[in-house]
Structure 1
Amino acid sequence: MEEPMCLIENNPNEQLRVNQEALKILQSIQQPVVVVAIVGLYRTGKSYLMNKLAGKKKGFSLGATIQAETMGIWMWCLPHPENPDHTLVLLDTEGLGDVEKSNIENDAWIFALSILLSSTLVYNSMGIIDQFALEKLQYVTELTKRIKVKATATKTSEDGEEENSDDFLRFFPAFVWAVRDFTLQLKLNGCPISSDEYLENALRRKKGQPKKLDLAKKCIRQYFPSRKCFVFDRPAGSRDLSELDDLSEKMLSPNFVVQAHRFCQHIYESAQPKMIEGGHLVTGILLGHLVVTYVDTISSGSIPCIENAVVALAQIENTAAVHDAITYYEAEIEKHLKLPTETIEELLKVHAQYEKEAIKVFLARAFKDDDHDYQKELGERLQSKLSELCSRNEQASLDRCQAVLLELFQDLEENFGKGTYSVAGGYLKFLDHQKEKLEQYHLLPGKGIMASKALEEFLKSKEAAAQSILQADRTLTEKEKELEVERVRAEASAQEAKLHKQMKEEAIKMAQEKERSYKEHEAQLMAKMEEDRKKMQAEHEMVMNRKLEVIEQRGLQLQNIQ
């Protein structure tokens, strides 16, 4: 994208609405996306920081007045500076707490959407992290009223709080607090500390502090598994702030330039791609579906539910995964299989090779196919494709053989018309000519698997003419004619038995192919399930480790309070 575009519109006296043009651009992105959203009070320089991330002087609109500039959520999709296989999606949100807004309710929804859509959430504030700054982050204390992780009702603890912080840990983005115009020294009890330590100290419950004042801190500690803090000097003097986007880097505060570079490098190197349950990477297509699902839910008056959104997403994505797999299979078969094949084994070998690859294509995109319905659908469609392929192969072979036979026997047809064989000794002459043509037919390559069947049908169609020649030949006795009829019948019977055996062998091979196909699906599914199990285990271990950290922090805080 050359410039940002509004993704979610927040017009006065209207519900949130998705901009279809921006959605189309987002859903054209097939790469995994690293989604960085920024939230914070209005007029605190969020857009300028996002332009820095974009590597541009201008992009997201900056304002030089007391009025908020950004409305809704704006999107900028850019090539990832460090990872060419990913796309960086920047989401700049309208400022929270704008007194001129007609719909303050949407502030909370903008904040909730930023969390739901991002993989890294940047909270931008001015000055220092104190109680005032934490109070302005009130929306974090309302998340359980704005976001549901599971569709089923959650249990509540004795103090009435919902016990779903573990679920939030699994699904919430990494949290970065950007403190702008920071003027203090990073010291604690006279000792230098890092900006991360400054944040963690600010989030600790202070001795004698009422529980209510600790609520925002507690929510940040519990809901966000990864936390980071960056402090920034004022970028320029007061006179230059109104022209900030026009200032060259030389005119900015040297400290700010270093701090901004540090911040950007952290995002480029550490911000993870957006993922959903089970470690499934979110592409631009999927992110677009999430945007529509969440905004539609909010507009309907309901609370966005991550589980429901993932289920809806899985249905869309799994349907697309089946389509991708079938499309891949058809393209590769068309490219690598030339019909007709000489044997059924040749066809089955190519089918097996690209069926295996098609299953990989499906499993690479599919997720949450808990009952394996979509993989069963894929299996059925691939079997249908195989049956269709076999029919096409047989027809191609028949067409080829019929054309060859018509060409080879053209001389005999002309002799029939001329009466060449309607003379004494004509039958033996006819047999010699027919034998010569049959030898040529058998030697000709590329006839396919229906060569014998096509020949049998062709010879049957010529039986009446052959019999008339036989009966008209006066050099043969009646006994010789009877023996010849029996010989022809015996040959036809033997050929029919041969064809029956061939069909039986092919039926066995098709049954074996079906069994092989089932085992291939099963083997790849088991491998995928094991991979998903490991991802879920890692996710569970992350949650448990974070819970232990929270428990340890609570213990230390209780000691400090006592």
Structure 2
Amino acid sequence: MDSPFPLALLLFLFLFLFLSPAPSFSIDNLHQAIVESFRIAIEEQRHTVYLCYGHCQTTALYLLECCVDIRRFNAVFPIVEPDPGHTKLQLSREGLEAIKRITNPIAAVAVIGPYRSGKSFLLNQLLSLSCYEGFGVGHMRDTKTKGIWVWGTPIDLDINGVRTSVFYLDTEGFESVGKSNVYDDRIFALATVLSSVLIYNLPETIREADISRLSFAVELAEEFYGRVKGQDVAFEPAKLLWLIQRDFLQGKSVQEMVNEALKQVPNTEGNKNIDVVNQIRESLSVMGDNSTAFSLPQPHIQRTKLCDMKDGELDQLYVKRRDQLKELVASIISPKIVQGKTLNGKEFVSFLEQILEALNKGEIPSTGSLVEVFNKNILERCLKLYSEKMTKLILPLPEEILQGAHDKSRGEVMQVFDQQHFGRHHAKKSVLQLDEEIQQVYKHVVLQNEYQSSKLCEGLYTRCEDQMDQLQVLKLPSLAKFNAGFLQCNRSFERECVGPSKTNYEQRMMKMLGKSRSLFIKEYNHRLFNWLVAFSLVMVVIGRFFIKFILIEIGAWALFIFLETYTRMFWSAEALYYNPVWHFIVATWETVVYSPVLDLDRWAIPLAVILSLFILYWRCYGRKKYGSQWLLPLYRSNKSGPNRPRSD
């Protein structure tokens, strides 16, 4: 039989957990309630407990784990602490764990202001916590809060249909003893960037120093918020809430007091400090749509006993205004948005780490360092875009074309960066960084272009060199063929060799071609002379014994005698090369050996074979069929004829 015990126990616990007001019970009371419920159930239905022991044990353990988890984070934790020198900030992992566990979008309410101005007490009032449960409240001269602290259990709100976890941040007060102004600036800068609502808690009135403190907020507004409509901002600006804790406003509303404090101060003497503050006043007036003023009276005249007082003992006007302040904060708060998206716990912590690293980078915190953080991803995207454009180029290219492609791609990328980057005044460093990295990529492309150009031109040079070597050893030496090969090689090199290596290889090419041409001409006459001597003797044999054409034989003998006699007469073959007859012979040779129609060097062997076959055919079959028909009469001897006279 099923027992109602587990269901009743769970129903009791969940009603107790979720229907009870958050501040009306403590963790100890919750534990006592769980123990008491188990005791009553055991007394009344022991047999049911035994039947459902396993199920109840599992459920109870789960609930106890949840309670332990709630108890663990139901406290204040430091998220940022000062370094030993109290000049820079460092992360505190204990507090970050409380934030990391949140999966909902996160919003933060930060309270800033002078030390001992009641910031921690104000936060406890907004969270409905006592001084002993929430943020530590100190009445001594030294500041109680060091760095930035967070209440570990966020308040969940429904903001425009989005369930949002709201954290409350307490910051170390300004102008406390033993700290530098730079440290105060870092605290203020970090609170300004992290928060969705920034409560500027000021006692009694707004001083000029309080306005000067907002210079960083003004710089952030000028750097990040003044973007083109429709584009994502780096992060949504925090709503600035001027909170004036004062009983009497002398007939003025708190908004009128703020507006009056932000009026320009006459500066007839040209004081630079007044000019700076006036510029801040002007910028804050422009940010008027993003700021709200609120007054809060003193909770009680005996401030040292505030932690021991309940709401009934506090000034009722204060209680009323405090509740109105809670409603105001809830109405203006929104999830933290960074570059167009909300942040969960882990993303918020990562964002905090980036901001803290940027603020600690220099001797003083600057918006410029924050600009670098937000422009980092944009810079990487633009650099990738430039690399993709340059990768599409087919290398090698002439230097002027490559430079033109670089200038065009760089211009397009810079235009994209100008449209998307964050920062109006401090983006110059990011622009310089992008340009520097583009130049690094371009240098790499230039090196690739030089390598590809050298590789291509080297291949063309080697091919021409091999071609010149082949022309040096032609079977039938031909200056016309050498010149044709020379021009073809030179033209192909000029056409195909491109890039920065072309000039260098052009010089090498001209030297190589010049040497090849000189060597060919030097050997050409000598080889042609030997070839013509051999050719004349061959033609003598062919004309006398094969073709039996006396004109061929006579011409061959004439050529042979001329070549041999001339060289013997002048003791040198070089003298022959200047003779007009030699020039005529060379011209005739070049016409026969090489022309656009026939390259005899290539077809010499096939033609010789065909001619030999033709002569052989004629000798064997042609004379039998057609008879011997010589062009000139042959000499016939009568010694062996029938009419030969007898010798005796």
TM-score normalised by the chain length of structure 1: 0.47
When Rg is computed on C-alpha atoms for both structures, the one with the higher figure is 2
Structure with higher RCO (Cα < 8 A, 6+ apart): 1
